[in-house]
Amino acid sequence: MSRISIEEVKHVAHLARLAITEEEAVNFQKQLDAIITFSEQLNELDTENVEPTSHVLDIKNVLREDVSKEGLPQELVLKNAPDQQDGQIKVPPIIE
């Protein structure tokens, strides 16, 4: 039985904001299924009383003084923008 269906692949692609073709969906389904099946070897491990590790160093909240600083100049912020108008980044319509 496969771990992930074509429909789920398409749903995940939507969540990841990736346009995919039917052919890509079929390919991803096979490859992801193989990788997920392989990763299920972790089920052999008893992790009942094991804490998850999200970070290897014992760092707690890292705080700094809340001082105001000069922001980036508009010209630099827009330097790499693919499209712009009147000092703002331009995108296609958001509301139809």
Instruction: Give the containing element (helix H, strand E) for 88.
Output: strand 88-89
Question: Of the candidates 1, 15, 66, 70, which one interacts with another protein according to CB under 8 A?
Answer: 15
User: Does residue 50 bind another protein (CB under 8 A)?
Assistant: yes
Distance of closest approach, residue 72 Cβ to another protein, in angstroms: 7
CB atoms within 10 A of CB 89: 12
User: Does residue 2 bind another protein (CB under 8 A)?
Assistant: no
Residues near another protein (CB under 8 A), total: 51
CA atoms within 13 A on the CB side of 8: 8
Q: Which of residues 20-49 bind another protein (CB under 8 A)?
A: 20, 28, 31-32, 34-36, 38-45, 47
Collect contacts of 23-30 with beta carbons under 8 A, ≥24 apart: 29/2, 29/4, 29/5
Instruction: Give the containing element (helix H, strand E) for 35.
Output: helix 22-39
Applying CB under 8 A, the residues found at the interface with another protein are: 4, 8-9, 12-13, 15-20, 28, 31-32, 34-36, 38-45, 47, 50-57, 59, 62, 64, 72, 76-77, 79-83, 89, 91-94, 96
